[in-house]
Amino acid sequence: MVRKSVLVACFALAALTVGLVMAGEGSATTTLDVKLSVRGMTCADCTGKVKAALEGVPGVSKAEVSLEKNEAAVTYDKGKTTPDALVKAVEKAGFKASVAKPEKGA
């Protein structure tokens, strides 16, 4: 009788574990990083506007803007936005933008 109860408990635990794993499969988001070349920034206020524009795009989890490098590094959920949408957001804020070309050796 004890052996049967242990066996039933093991099967129940296994079924619960499989159910939890399967439930979590569709909930993970896939994030990607992209660098944008941004032209037209002349001061810290400009970088703030670009950052705010990028952070206002649904799916963006992080945006860092560099005046010195004339670029923005963005982390986004690929299921919610695209690099083209990020470029459009920067352009709507009044700046020129494009997806940066990868650096050689990177």
pLDDT tens, residue by residue, 1-22:
555 554 444 444 444 344 434 4
Q: How far apart are CA 80 and CA 87, in angstroms?
A: 15
Complete edge-to-edge strand list for the sheet that includes strand 60-66: 60-66, 71-77, 31-39, 96-99
Overall fold of domain 31-99: Alpha-Beta Plaits (3.30.70)
Look at 12 and 95; give whichever has higher pLDDT. Answer: 95
- Where along the chain do its domains lie? 31-99
Cite the DSSP H helix spans in the chain: 2-25, 44-55, 83-92
B/e letters for 70-100, b = 16+ CB within 10 Å, e = fewer, are: bbbbbebeeeebebeebbebbeebebebeeb
Neighbours of 16 (CB within 10 A): 10
Q: Is the pTM of this model over 0.75?
A: no
Q: What is the pLDDT of residues 52-85, one digit of tens each?
A: 999 999 999 999 999 999 999 999 999 999 999 9
